[in-house]
Amino acid sequence: MKLGKNMEYLVMLPGPTNVPERVTRAMFTPMINHRSEDFVELYEPCVEKTKQIFQTEGEAVCLSASGTGAVEASVINLIKKGDRVILPVNGEFSGRLAQMLTWAGADVIKIETEPGQNATYDQVKEVFDNNKNIKAFYCVWNETSTGTMINYLDRIKNLTSRDDSYYVVDGVSIVGGEELQMDNWGIDVCMTGAQKAFAAPPGISPICVNARTKKYMMDNPPNSMYFNLSKYFKYYEESKHTPFTPAIPLLYAYNEALNIILEEGLDNRIRRHRICSDALYSGLSAIGLTPFAQKDSRSTVVVALNYLDGLEDKIFRDTLAQKFRVLVAGGFGNLKGKVFRVGCMGEVNKYHVMRTISAISSTLSMMGYDTDAQAGLKSAEEKLKAL
């Protein structure tokens, strides 16, 4: 079976993901002046709703940038030459963050683990116990490259509070899809990308900063123009504007995506993501695939799976895309050709899960692998009954 080329893809990537029609339509509005009350009526709700989702009373800046831009902003506005930073590293994005911190002049104390497993809380505690004068603890909450997720974010404040260290969470691929209590968990800075669990187009990346961190950033601005957060704080305080021209159509889309999240309710949204990922893990395992990440480290928004012996990455993903119009991602770096990754974020629901399992099973069958599609669908359907 070959589906028509005009048929929309089912985007099961770890971002960008499927965008609801409401969000897409929101972009098609006449252009406004970004130095006007019209812009204030757009941007102020974006800021306030972002704070609701992050569960913070701090500041929110909706950067016109990719998620990497928001992560870099957190580094150059907080870290100075010689600062000591603790960072768990277990994949591509935590590795990139280590590089950013190094470029900023930090003394990076890495807690390195194999891809597919996270540093434990006890390992992090040991590093804090053995090192003094820590400026910040950084972590990639959801390591998209390997499908792992840190599940002890709420406990890190017990460690950072010792030396009043800053606590920074890269939540680019998971905020909006998993529980986050920024203020209650003692997180000073957190960011995400709109194209992930928010289910908006790429290009808007919010970063939230609490009051004490804002003061530090205002008192110690970086040698940067575009990512200088003190400028964003100042412009917002004075006029509810941004210092530089924002991506206005994307902000309209982002605002509508926030409306959808809040209409569903954060608790309901998180529950849906968890159930759908459970169904994907169960269903894909039932057809003969094995998850890459260790069970206690597995992400609820990115499902990474080992390739079957002899299965060629490009042929598999191209066949899945061309024959069944389902998009999944391959592996990064050393994992290229060894794993593929299924996004479970944003709009994901029963339909997405069942179609993805069916399409993957059919593709494997076309490539000569013996799979049991019915077992996979039955296993997933049992999990999805909870929705």
Q: What is the pLDDT of residues 146-177, one digit of tens each?
A: 999 999 999 999 999 998 999 999 999 999 99
Asked if residue 299 lies in contact with residue 293, where contact means CB atoms within 8 angstroms, the answer is: yes
Q: Is 365 exposed, middle or buried (0-12, 13-18, 19+ CB in 10 A)?
A: middle
Q: How far apart are CA 53 and CA 34, in angstroms?
A: 25
Give the SS3 label for residue 143. strand
pLDDT tens-digit series, residues 14-52: 999 999 999 999 999 999 999 999 999 999 999 999 999
Q: How far apart are CA 44 and CA 366, in angstroms?
A: 51
Compute how many other C-beta atoms are within 10 angstroms of the C-beta atom of residue 205.
26
Rounded mean pLDDT, 245-267: 98
Rounded mean pLDDT, 6-10: 84
pLDDT tens-digit series, residues 224-234: 999 999 999 99
Q: Which residues pair with 142 in a beta bridge?
A: 149
Q: Can you list the domains of the chain with their CATH numbers?
A: 10-18+265-384 (3.90.1150.10), 26-263 (3.40.640.10)
pLDDT tens-digit series, residues 311-349: 999 999 999 999 999 999 999 888 999 999 999 999 999
Asked if residue 166 lies in contact with residue 30, where contact means CB atoms within 8 angstroms, the answer is: no
Residue 2's pLDDT band (cuts 50, 70, 90): very low
Q: Pick from 79, 43, 78, 77: which is nearest to 61 by CA?
A: 43
Residues whose CB falls within 8 Å of the CB of residue 228, separated by 6 or more in sequence, listed in order: 77, 221, 222, 243
The H-or-E segment that residue 191 falls in is strand 189-191
Asked if residue 150 lies in contact with residue 184, where contact means CB atoms within 8 angstroms, the answer is: no
Residue 1's pLDDT band (cuts 50, 70, 90): very low
pTM for this model (two decimals): 0.96
Q: Pick from 285, 282, 364: which is nearest to 326 by CA?
A: 364
- Percentage with pLDDT > 70 across the chain: 98
Q: How far apart are CA 52 and CA 211, in angstroms?
A: 16
DSSP 234: H
